[in-house]
Amino acid sequence: MGQAFVHQAPERRGRGRPSRLEHEELPPSIQQALVLRAAGASWIDSASGAGIDVRNLRKWRHHPMAEPFLNEQIRGNLQEAQNLFAEAAPRLAERLIKLGLDERVKGYTAVSAISEAFKILQTGVVDQQQREALEQVKTQLKELEESTEPNVIDV
């Protein structure tokens, strides 16, 4: 026996009886098209890449599970991109420094590289300061919560 799909539909947008699509799971071809869309393909290219008609994909876009599925794919892609940047950061930093210090590099390129290096440094310093400030606030809050004496805060 197959699994029963239990679906709790969000608020209905239209009137009348729910459509047949609202009670079905997203088929693999629709999921594939949504994965392609999350990767940056147009709706037409996504449908074509999944081997389905674009009109069919447009109908499935209104399915209650389509948007959450698409958003999850987009979040996954963004996380993957952030991981790639994090892995490449040391090599990028070395190259950026070499470009900024190389006398053979044209002035406007060197200025851009040096500017980016300082922006990265500044962002790192600001992030560290914000983390330290947040830790101080957390510590103070914890002390207030653990304190048995009534505290008066003058606002």
Residue 15 lies in a domain: no
| Rounded distance between C-alpha atoms, residue 97 and residue 116, angstroms | 10
33: tokens are 């098209």
152: tokens are 């008066």
For position 151, what pLDDT does the model report?
61
Query: Which structural domain range is residue 46 located in?
Result: 24-88
For position 119, what pLDDT does the model report?
78
Residues 28 and 83 in one domain: yes
Residues 77 and 49 in one domain: yes
For position 87, what pLDDT does the model report?
79
Residues 31 and 68 in one domain: yes
Residues 70 and 32 in one domain: yes
Residues 37 and 79 in one domain: yes
End-to-end CA distance of the chain: 66
Closest to 60 measured CA to CA, from 24, 13, 35, 36 = 24
For position 52, what pLDDT does the model report?
95
For position 106, what pLDDT does the model report?
79
Listed residues 64, 88, 112: the one ending a domain: 88
Domain count, the chain: 2
Longest dimension (CA), the chain: 73
Residue 97 lies in a domain: no
Residue 7 lies in a domain: no
For position 16, what pLDDT does the model report?
53
For position 32, what pLDDT does the model report?
96
For position 115, what pLDDT does the model report?
75
- Tens of pLDDT along the chain (155 residues) come to 343 433 444 444 555 555 555 567 899 999 999 999 999 999 999 999 999 999 999 999 999 999 999 999 998 888 888 777 777 778 878 887 887 788 887 777 777 776 776 777 678 778 788 888 998 999 988 888 887 776 666 66
Residues 74 and 106 in one domain: no
Residues 29 and 66 in one domain: yes
